Chain A
């Protein structure tokens, strides 16, 4: 009887079931972040991670082939011998330039590594967030390389974000600019503490700065180390605007991130032990 009724109204039943399931997932995640949500996320990530990795590698190869093609087109006007030599030179120069840039970036990463006692792991950026609402990246290292949730992620210029989801071969990193990201910050010059939030627009906002605190345009912001997720002293950004409202308890500052998060290619993950989950870094679970 019930089965017949369901079969008769299957369209409405399926629509209702999917909508309720979606709503339930959102509610559960925002309220408790249960295992079922984490499991679903990880299962989907694991299922699609080979596709993302293969695409990233293929894209690199296609880019190289395309670059070679462009190079060849420019030298085709010259005679055969010169064209061959020019193509080889062009390709070598291109490769060397790319190597030099990569070496420069990696030297920057190594400099940080040498200056710190913590262990680091380098990773390549292989993908970006599928929506325009949130700011996350996918990196080609996962739990099999020792990555865990909430590990800090940095670049040569400063803080990038924190590890948000981990699968054996791929991890998702929540960028500082993500609207639900938060990190403890400190004005380097005056040691005033605040909380650095991401927002939908490019840039960062520092809230909870005392109204009378000395904060000025051009000040450098570093991580405060409070909360235990991000170590103290990592550059976060530079103050580009300060807003003081009369009668308000706090003032707000707008930061320009130190790292150009839209052009990340390689990052370092700080493999520091015992980072407490969800204390300093923002996230849906804090809501």
Chain B
């Protein structure tokens, strides 16, 4: 369990850099690092989730052409908030789950736009929307589909 997060992070690196290229829609790919933090944070304490978000974000930044710290900032905050609010917002119903994922991805997208505008100057609105909106939708949809996959249960054997 101790190595579960680092291992899934490495898997996420492989998926995001190599595999997702094959399922990109109009050049836009879902954000697996965001989903990784969203899925781990409810099972961790807020301080752990914050650090997990920071490490995941820093890894994503290092593999991207963007400024180092951009995703680290966003995912740290997201990890913290998810861990803090997970008990209140936990739900098994599909539609609220999708809306929550959409809100998380949307919040992260808007924060990205805000930080990029602050550090690199405002990007063109139309082009930004063409990147942000599909990314948010695609990420939320992928997260929703992953949540719908039933977990593999170990087979129970009857005692003799």
Q: How far is the CB of B65 from chain A (nearest CB, A)?
A: 3
A138 at the interface (CB under 8 A from B): yes
Interface residues of A in 81-127 (CB under 8 A from B): 126-127
A133, B76: Cβ atoms closer than 8 Å: no
Interface centre among B18, B46, B135 (most CB of A within 10 A): B18
B66, A23: Cβ atoms closer than 8 Å: no
B42 at the interface (CB under 8 A from A): no
B29, A180: Cβ atoms closer than 8 Å: no
Contact string against B for A residues 26-67, beta-carbon threshold 8 Å, 1 for contact and 0 otherwise: 110110000001001101110010011011100100000000
A77 at the interface (CB under 8 A from B): no
Residues of A within 8 A of B47 (CB): 10-11, 14-15
Interface residues of B in 9-53 (CB under 8 A from A): 10, 13-14, 16-19, 21, 27-29, 31, 33, 45-47, 50-51, 53
A52, B65: Cβ atoms closer than 8 Å: no
Interface centre among A10, A26, A128 (most CB of B within 10 A): A26
**Interface residues on chain B, number (Cβ under 8 Å):** 53
User: Which partner residue on chain A sits nearest B33 by CB separation?
Assistant: A130
Contact string against B for A residues 8-20, beta-carbon threshold 8 Å, 1 for contact and 0 otherwise: 0011001100110
Q: Given A18-B76, A26-B119, A132-B28, A44 and B63 touching (CB < 8 A)?
A: yes
Residues of A within 8 A of B63 (CB): 44-45, 48, 127, 129-130, 138, 172
B64, A15: Cβ atoms closer than 8 Å: no
B65, A129: Cβ atoms closer than 8 Å: yes
Query: Considering the chains assembled together, what is the distance between the CA atoms of A257 and B125 in angstroms?
Result: 23
Q: How far is the CB of B110 from chain A (nearest CB, A)?
A: 13
- The prevalent SS among residues of A at the interface is helix
Query: Considering the chains assembled together, what is the distance between the CA atoms of A180 and B120 in angstroms?
Result: 9
B160 at the interface (CB under 8 A from A): no
Residues of A within 8 A of B120 (CB): 30, 179-180, 284, 287
A40, B68: Cβ atoms closer than 8 Å: yes
User: Which partner residue on chain A sits nearest B113 by CB separation?
Assistant: A133
A131 at the interface (CB under 8 A from B): yes
Contact string against B for A residues 197-208, beta-carbon threshold 8 Å, 1 for contact and 0 otherwise: 001111000000
Residues of A within 8 A of B51 (CB): 14, 18
Q: Given A22-B57, A48-B13, A135 and B73 touching (CB < 8 A)?
A: no
Residues of B within 8 A of A135 (CB): 65
A199, B76: Cβ atoms closer than 8 Å: no
Sort A-B residue pairs by CB-CB distance and give the 10 closest, nearest first. Answer: A134-B65, A25-B69, A44-B62, A127-B17, A22-B73, A200-B127, A55-B14, A136-B65, A22-B69, A26-B69
- Could you jot down 17 A-B contacts, CB within 8 Å? A11-B50, A15-B46, A18-B50, A22-B54, A22-B69, A22-B70, A25-B68, A44-B58, A44-B63, A45-B63, A52-B13, A54-B14, A59-B18, A129-B64, A133-B66, A200-B128, A287-B120
